[in-house]
Amino acid sequence: MMVASSPFLSVRRDRSWTRATRVPGLKTGVLSLSSPEMVGSLQHHADRDTMMTPIIRTSRAAALAAALLVFSGCATKGDLRSMTVEVRALAVRQDSMLAVLTQQNAVTQDTLRRQADQLFEVRGDVSRQLQRILDELAFLRELTGQNQRVIASVRDQLEGLRRGVGTVPTGTTDSVADMGQPGVGDVLEGAAEATYGAAVEQYQRGSHATAQRAFEDFIQQYANHSLAPEARFLMADILAQQGRVVEALLGFNMIPELHPTSTKMPDALYRIGLLHLELGNTAEARRFLDRVVNTYPDSNAAGSARERLREIR
């Protein structure tokens, strides 16, 4: 049986109720859910819904169901209450999911910022390390050039001495040095000072690794040179700055052992006392500081040692 046309209508078919509602683009009239127009329209809406997010699709489905119940004329108050509760529950779930997504997005953004900061720091470290390597290579090239010039100069001096010895008459007592020519010792002295000066330059620039190798080379070649105590002191100071306390302590101890008459003695003894304090050896620290005060009372290190002794007593 059919019912008169209406924007919203119900149809009785085979003792079951079929509900229909106005669909945009369709004429008003008596329609069946199985009609081609209704099926096509519903399929169009279903295809569009599949492109939505799960949250929006669920909300629209609930809203559509509520609208069908309201406008079908067959909805009861219980149905409306049930649908209202369901829609509210869906809204709560949406809010909860939105809060979770917002939190996850914030965590992701924070992670990306941290990774960007870490990448920036790594790039900075690599850049600084590369610059240090370039500085060390430049220093090594300079040092190599100095050594080559020294070797060439020594070779020329030796060759000149050989020629001079071959032409000096028998019985002549004038030496080559008396003739005003620089001796081999003078050349070697200049080479030692140049090597030490290059190492000090690297130390003052903060290139401690390069300076340490240069000081080690200097001591290996000129262990008995007057600048050897200075080189050992600066080597130990580099170790102390790097936090290598025990190695620095051994380095400073080399000065009183190998160069007891050096002008670096009071400074070395004072630094030994400070390192013992850092290691917690108060008795040893006091012994070395007392030694500075008693043995070198007029030195600058003695004044600093007195202040330290007042602090630990």
Report, as an integer, the average pLDDT of 233-249. Answer: 96
Average pLDDT of the segment spanning 63-71: 55
The answer to whether 274 touches 249, Cβ cutoff 8 Å, is no
Identify the pLDDT of residue 192: 84
For the segment 108-127, the average pLDDT, to the nearest whole number, is 83
pLDDT beyond 90 at 266: yes
Q: How many domains is the chain built from?
A: 1
* pLDDT surpassing 50 at residue 79: yes
Sequence-distant (≥ 6) Cβ neighbours of residue 267 within 8 angstroms = 233, 299, 300, 301
In a domain, 101, yes or no: no
pLDDT tier for residue 126 given thresholds of 50, 70 and 90: confident
H helix and E strand count, the chain: 10, 2
For residue 179, what are the contacts with CB-CB under 8 A and spacing of at least 6?
164
- What's the rounded mean pLDDT across residues 165-169? 50
Q: Which of 1-5, 40-44, 123-127, 137-141 has the lowest average pLDDT?
A: 1-5
The reply to whether 267 falls in a domain is yes
25 inside domain? no
3-class secondary-structure state, position 133: helix
For residue 82 the two structure tokens come to 């049930």
Tokens of 204: 């003052």
Tell me which of 183 and 262 has the higher pLDDT: 262
Amino acid at site 82: S
Least confident residue range of 74-88, 138-152, 170-184, 241-255 = 170-184
pLDDT over 50 (residue 106): yes
Report the candidate in 275, 238, 233 with the shortest Cα–Cα distance to residue 258: 233
Q: At 17, phi and psi to the nearest 5?
A: -95, 130
- Report pLDDT for 284: 95
Share of the chain above pLDDT 70, in %: 60
Question: How many residues does this entry show for the chain?
Answer: 313
Distance, in Å, from the CA atom of 276 to the CA atom of 282, rounded to the nearest integer, reads: 7
Q: Is the pLDDT of residue 210 over 80?
A: yes
Residue 180's pLDDT is: 47
pLDDT of residue 156: 65
Listed ranges 94-108, 162-176, 251-265; the one with the highest mean pLDDT? 251-265
* Domain-embedded: residue 235: yes
252 lies in a domain? yes
The DSSP letter of residue 28 is S
Residue 290 included in any domain: yes
Q: Which domain holds residue 247?
A: 226-313
The answer to whether position 89 is within a domain reads: no
Please give, one letter per residue, the 3-state secondary structure of 253-276: HHHHHHCCCCCCHHHHHHHHHHHH
Structure confidence at residue 17 as a pLDDT band (50, 70, 90): very low
CATH code of 292's domain: 1.25.40.10
Convert the pLDDT of each residue in 142-162 to its tens digit: 666 666 666 666 666 656 655
- The pair of three-digit structure tokens given for residue 301, joined into one six-digit string: 């290190």
- Could you give the CA distance from residue 199 to residue 221 in angstroms, rounded to a whole number? 13
Query: 29-33, 86-90, 157-161: which range is least confident on average?
Result: 29-33
DSSP alpha helix (H) spans, 168-227 = 184-205, 208-221
**What does the pLDDT look like over 40-64, one tens digit per residue?**
554 544 454 444 455 555 555 555 5
Which amino acid belongs to residue 51? M
